[in-house]
Amino acid sequence: MWWNGYTSGRTYFISLSFADDQVVIAQDSYDLEFMLNRLHEEYERWGLKISFKKTEFLVVNSETNFELLLNDEVQLSQIEQIKYLGVNINKRGLEQQEVKIRIQNAKRVIECLNSVWWDRQVSKRNWTNKLENDLDRAWLNPSCRLNPCYGCEVWTVNSGMHTDMDYLRRSARVSRRECVRNEVIRRRRDAQDTVVDRIERRSLNWFGHLMRMPDYRWPKRVFQWVPSQRRKRGRPRRSWNDGIRESMEARQLEDDDVFEID
């Protein structure tokens, strides 16, 4: 047996494949080097080649620098972060940096639309609810509400993610100097839920789907997996499951209710 990735019972989880990309998962550098070399040999048997220039490795939860040789001659590059399937992953795992990047991208869209919202040729008298709704459908919903939430089902939500009020104020042509309450703006823009509300709702939907899965499905196995290593000192980081439990408590949901979440 030449693999030693993530184990669940007697089953080994060693690789993720998507199109022509492949991720190899290992416990340490020795296992990873051994597994890569065996894969390299197997690929050559079938006339396939590994692109050495594009092959990199990421070490999670460690500050140690490693040397990794492929075929005893090609040294692979150790990187600080990687983008896989549109998601940024760094050496601390799926960090809040990914969420910050999404928020910054949405803010750039808002800045590009400032000239439209504050154009003097468009008087407030002509700035009707219909025009606001047309802008919402054409630009803001896809760019500022939907795109930042891509893949948000597995995010760990915290208070720093309450950020969409700036977009609502600008789209309603209300500056920060005007003493207008947030509730009034939300009612005017027909925005009853926040970005965080949408993220929590989608996370709960995924959690319900996860709980309904058979035990042999890999997403459920990974969710139920308990690391064998001892936890490091200090306060444990807020986990995705912590956020789910808080969302359920705020909505007065019990464990049995997740099977009915849709």
What average pLDDT values come out for the chain (262 residues) when binned by 10 residues? 60 78 84 86 88 85 80 82 79 70 72 67 55 57 61 72 59 72 72 74 89 88 74 67 87 75 54
Residue with tokens 């439990």: 245
Q: Looking at residue 2, what is its pLDDT?
A: 47
Distance between CA 94 and CA 142 in Å, rounded? 24
Tokens of residue 176, six digits: 């920060």
Q: Looking at residue 47, what is its pLDDT?
A: 92
Let me know: does 57 contact 25? Beta carbons within 8 Å: no
For residue 187, CA distances in Å to 102, 133, 135, 200 come to 25, 13, 17, 21
Distance between CA 12 and CA 141 in Å, rounded? 42
What angle do the packed helices 240-250 and 195-212 form, to 10 degrees?
Answer: 100
pTM of the model: 0.67
For residue 35, CA distances in Å to 24, 25, 28, 51, 167 come to 8, 9, 11, 16, 48
Tokens of residue 107, six digits: 């803010």
Tell me which H or E stretch contains 12.
strand 11-13
Contacts of 151 (CB under 8 A, 6+ apart): 86, 87
Let me know: does 16 contact 22? Beta carbons within 8 Å: yes
The string over 169-201, giving b where at least 16 C-beta atoms fall within 10 Å of a residue's C-beta and e elsewhere, is bbbbebeeeeeeeeeebbeebebeebbbebbbb
∠ Cα 222 223 229 (to 5°)? 70
Distance between CA 82 and CA 167 in Å, rounded? 30
Distance between CA 69 and CA 36 in Å, rounded? 9
Let me know: does 75 contact 65? Beta carbons within 8 Å: no
Alpha helix ranges (H) inside 73-194: 97-112, 114-117, 129-135, 165-171, 182-188
Q: Looking at residue 140, what is its pLDDT?
A: 57
Q: Where are the domains of the chain?
A: 6-90, 95-194, 200-259
Tell me which H or E stretch contains 244.
helix 240-250
Distance between first and last Cα of the chain:
42
Distance between CA 76 and CA 57 in Å, rounded? 7
